[in-house]
């Protein structure tokens, strides 16, 4: 690679915004358990969470990796994730949380739309990663409502 050539992130999962599942959620065209939304960002429960309360925070504007965002947008994304994380930890009575932000297929990014995972954890889970889970609709609804209630305070 030449010294002035920019390194690219492998993105075989690319999709047009009209086909992007997160863009469809942000526009209200796909169902989800939204816990927070403003003009620029949306947060919703992960469909297959690592733990109860696992939430995805993403910009409404389509971009595949964090390199597609400006510094102010990145700051807004992480400010939103920080705000939402406080509500999640309180709602699910967690002891801590993880931020995970993957870029490109090699980093395990599954949906080609920038997003931050906010994953609540308990002390007894320290040092390990859980498998993905399937929660009931009642569990998803009550968890989302608990997070929304705390964000409203």
Q: 115 an active-site residue?
A: yes
> How far is CA 40 from each of CA 7, 23, 110, rounded to the nearest angstrom?
28, 12, 22
Q: Is 59 left (phi over 0), alpha (psi -120 to 50) or beta?
A: beta
For the chain, what is the largest distance between any 2 Cα atoms, rounded to a whole number of angstroms? 55
Residue from 54, 62, 113, 115 carrying the catalytic annotation: 115
Residue positions annotated with a catalytic role: 115
């Amino acid at each position: 690679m030449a010294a002035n050539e920019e390194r690219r992130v492998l993105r075989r999962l690319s999709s047009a915004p009209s086909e992007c599942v997160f863009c469809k959620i942000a526009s209200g065209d796909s169902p989800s358990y939204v816990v927070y939304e403003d003009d620029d960002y949306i947060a919703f429960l992960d469909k297959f969470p690592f733990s109860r309360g696992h939430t995805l925070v993403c910009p409404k504007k389509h971009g595949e990796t964090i390199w597609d965002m400006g510094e102010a947008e990145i700051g807004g994304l992480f400010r939103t994730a920080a705000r939402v994380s406080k509500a999640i930890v309180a709602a699910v009575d967690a002891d801590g949380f993880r931020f995970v932000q993957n870029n490109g297929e090699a980093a395990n990014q599954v949906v080609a739309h920038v997003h931050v995972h906010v994953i609540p954890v308990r002390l007894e889970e320290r040092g390990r990663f859980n498998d993905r889970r399937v929660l009931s609709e009642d569990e998803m609804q009550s968890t989302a409502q608990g997070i929304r209630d705390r964000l409203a305070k």
